[in-house]
Amino acid sequence: MESPVGETRRPGPAARERFLRAARGQPVDRPPVWLMRQAGRYLPEYRRVREGSSFLEMCRDPDTAAEVSLQPYRRFGMDGVVVFSDILLPLAGLGIELDFDPGPRIANPIRSRPDLANLDGSAAGAIAPTCEAIRRIKAELGDAAAVIGFAGAPWTLAAYVTESPLSRELTTLVGLSYREPALVDRLLDRLAEVAAETLCEQIAAGADALQIFDTWADVLSPERFERFAGRALRRVVSLLPADRPPLILFARGSTHLLEALADVGPEVVSVDWRIDFAEAARRVGGRVSLQGNLDPLALTAPRERIEAEVAAMLAKGRAARGHIANLGHGVLPSVPPEGVGAFVQAVQRSGE
């Protein structure tokens, strides 16, 4: 295994502090960097752990979850370490029968009021291994990197609990939103509590920053986002403590929702590669920092090309209040580790 190339060996603020300052729009020596799904199949050391266990078994074992969370950090020294888990994990605490094959499968989807009444219980037990993993990662890292917890947004959780496997169009949830909006409201309210409970547990475990994934919000127009997903996201935010860690809000393909996402009240909005980063900064103004936004498939290019893409991204990112360098979506399994290394190092060198 390669030796670490992390920030602990460089002058300047500890990486955790760099991360938090960028999230809050305070001056930094260079943008902090991490990658969504940085613990994953593109790493041979991850695949070795994965061989022996199922995805859920890995999530539910704090040792394994902490270990695979730290693998990319040991190779590349990112400024943020995201805990290995899944947005659907908390739902197991509420009687949802969850499996992965390889995509999520739910044996008892919710489609009616009686189903909804059965959605009780607490997420805390189901995410206890994730919280324990956060504690172990924190113990190992100290201030050397920010530990990032996360939860699924109510709309995205609702998509999964109403339909399995989930269609690209979210046929069930979107259809229900037109035919039975009151039922969708109740479901979103309940799932907002689940998301908030998940995040509160992770805060208690020591998470330095929190990301909310509204992966499937892109099917909504700005008006309907406000009515459903946005309202539920505000509820999540309102249920968090006032002195919470910075919140990053991610919604894939959500160029059309950028202002609405900033309005929800996060410190950071994570945007994808489809939008010009400088244009995104202009649209959100000084309200939030931005995270993103390299095309995940750019990491399959030669190193010089990746460096040029990163340079362009960082130049445009200067228009934002603060910038956390990342991809526009998760690392793909087909990406070579060298591509991830080139990306991280190009950001790290920008501060020299």
The residue written with tokens 């109510």 in the block is 154
Work out how close the CB of 313 gets to a copy of itself at its nearest, in angstroms, rounded to a whole number: 11
| Plot region of 206 (φ>0 → left; ψ -120 to 50 → alpha; else → beta) | left
Q: How far apart are CA 144 and CA 174, in angstroms?
A: 43
Interface pattern 267-296 for a copy of itself (x via CB under 8 A)? ------xxxx------------------xx
Closer CB to a copy of itself, residue 125 or residue 302?
A: 302
Which member of 4, 121, 222, 351 binds a copy of itself (CB under 8 A)? 222
Residue 159-198 contact track with a copy of itself, rule CB under 8 A, x = bound: ---------xx-x--xx--xx-------------------
- A 10 A CB-CB count for 225 gives 25
Q: Which residues are known catalytic residues?
A: 37, 41, 50, 86, 160
What is the rounded distance in angstroms from the CA atom of residue 257 to the CA atom of residue 320? 17
Contact pick of 221, 238, 241, 338 for a copy of itself (by CB under 8 A): 221
Q: Compare residues 136 and 316 and give the one whose CB is closer to a copy of itself.
A: 316
Calpha distance 54→35 (Å, rounded)? 23
Choice between 297 and 319, CB closer to a copy of itself: 297
CB 160 within 8 A of CB 173: no
Opening angle at CA 85, ends 79 and 90, nearest 5: 130
Task: For residue 100, report the phi and psi dihedrals to the nearest 5 degrees.
Answer: -130, 135
Distance of closest approach, residue 319 Cβ to a copy of itself, in angstroms = 16
Site for a copy of itself contains 297 (CB under 8 A): yes
- Out of 63, 120, 223, 259, the only residue in the binding site for a copy of itself (CB under 8 A) is 223
Least distance between a copy of itself and beta carbon 35 (Å)? 15
Query: CB-wise, 61 or 276, nearer to a copy of itself?
Result: 276
Q: Indicate the residue among 311 and 332 with the shorter CB distance to a copy of itself.
A: 332
Q: Nearer to a copy of itself by C-beta: 125 or 336?
A: 336
Pairing between β-strand 247-250 and β-strand 209-213 as defined by DSSP bridges: parallel
Which distant-in-sequence residues (6+ apart) come within 8 Å of 64 by Cβ?
Answer: 49, 53, 57, 58, 84
DSSP one-letter code for 33: B
Q: How far is the CB of 256 from a copy of itself (least distance, A)?
A: 4
Contact letters for a copy of itself, residues 237-256 (x by CB under 8 A): ----------------x-xx
Which of the residues 305 through 344 are near a copy of itself (CB under 8 A)?
Answer: 305, 332, 334
Q: How many residues bind a copy of itself (CB under 8 A)?
A: 31
Q: Which amino acid is at 290?
A: L
First CA to last CA across the chain, in angstroms? 26
Per-residue tokens: 64: 């394994």
The stretch near a copy of itself (CB under 8 A) out of 76-84, 218-226, 238-246, 319-327 is: 218-226
Does 301 sit near a copy of itself (CB under 8 A)?
A: yes
Alpha carbon dihedral 319, 20, 247, 239, in 10-degree steps, equals -140
Specify the residue, 26 or 171, whose C-beta has the smaller distance to a copy of itself: 171
Burial 317-326 (b: 16+ CB within 10 A, else e): beebbbbbbb
The arrangement of strands across the sheet holding 323-327 comes to 80-82, 146-152, 209-213, 247-250, 268-270, 289-294, 323-327
| Rounded CA separation 233/191 (Å) | 10
Q: Point out which residues bind a copy of itself (CB under 8 A).
A: 168-169, 171, 174-175, 178-179, 218-224, 253, 255-256, 273-276, 295-298, 300-302, 305, 332, 334
